[in-house]
Amino acid sequence: MKTVLVLIPMDEAGRAQLESAAPGCRFVYRKRGEETGEDVRGASVILGGVDPKRIGASETLELLQISAAGTDAFLRPGVLGPRTVLCNATGAYSKPVAEHALAMTLMLLKNLHLYRDNQKEARWKYRGRERALAECTVAVIGLGDIGKYYARLAKAMGARVIGVKRRPSPCPEYVDRLVLTGQTDEILPEADVVFTVLPQFRETIRFFDRERFEKMKPDAIFINCGRGSAVDEQALYEALSGGRLAAAAIDVTETEPLPPDSPLWSLENLVITPHVAGTSLKSLRESITDLAVRNLAAWAAGEPLVNAVDMTTGYRK
């Protein structure tokens, strides 16, 4: 009898759906982080965020359905064996992360972060010119599911949208111009808002460095809801403190939690949230549960899996 290790929080209805999807399997339910080495080694399927260090290229593991979009931790040598198919949760995070990013965008364009600071000190003070998103050019760096949803929201509010992606494809109707990643430096000087949702891979490490921040408009705003590793934090600090960027908002940092002695905490024109963009909606939990049920049923029936990951690129096939 094959074992399915479930690390995704499940109510009784969710458990019933899973067990109906793979009848004849043994199900083990654990809270994330409470799984034992024996649990992991004995599992044919793992659903949820298992610690990659526990897997050890298991020869038993056939399907790993993670509950996150990022896959970099599972692509390292010695983590997954050749029999294991890795599936991610791409698509489930589109709405919550894009909405969080849009909230950050409007906050910075309207100086709401500064007025909140005023309120704490009981100051009635003008904090500078506000801008309308409808008057902005928005560059979306990483036009995957999250980037597309954000682009739709920005376009619906009247923005001109430039999308940046790895591979050529038809231009969506909500994107005014579509370019490849290699053309990023060409479009940065046009952008009033730069939103990045890049995953973590070798080619994206410190993608936004000093040179790229210098290519942006001095009154541009920068938002990162992808991976903290995509940004050179010292370069971001220098750009914000030196007037090279108007403002920024980040939901991710290179080291999490961000250390208390990081100079980023001191910046008035930077909004920091603690990696919460993708955690806010009931629909997110439902989407991940639905995906787990679908892929478990497909695995049991020997059918193609949803969101299978290309192990050479780390992206969905």
Q: For this structure, is 100 an active site residue?
A: no
- Whole-number Cα distances in Å, 14 to 11, 21, 47, 55, 275: 5, 11, 12, 25, 26
Nearest to 141 by CA among 53, 203, 79: 203
Instruction: Determine the Cα–Cα distance for residues 167 and 188; give it in Å rounded to an integer.
Output: 19
Residues 6+ apart with CB under 8 A from 114: 127, 128, 268
Beta-bridge partners for 3: 26
Catalytic position from the list 166, 275, 285, 316? 275
- Per the listing, tokens 């007037």 go with 243
- Whole-number Cα distances in Å, 249 to 24, 99, 252, 268, 294: 49, 14, 9, 11, 35
Q: For this structure, is 275 an active site residue?
A: yes
In what side-by-side order are the strands of the sheet with 160-165? 177-180, 160-165, 137-141, 193-196, 221-224, 247-250, 270-272
Q: Find out whether 134 and 159 touch, Cβ atoms under 8 Å.
A: yes
Nearest to 6 by CA among 18, 16, 17: 18
Q: For this structure, is 256 an active site residue?
A: yes
Catalytic position from the list 131, 160, 227, 294? 227
Catalytic position from the list 186, 256, 286, 303? 256
Residues annotated as catalytic are 227, 256, 275
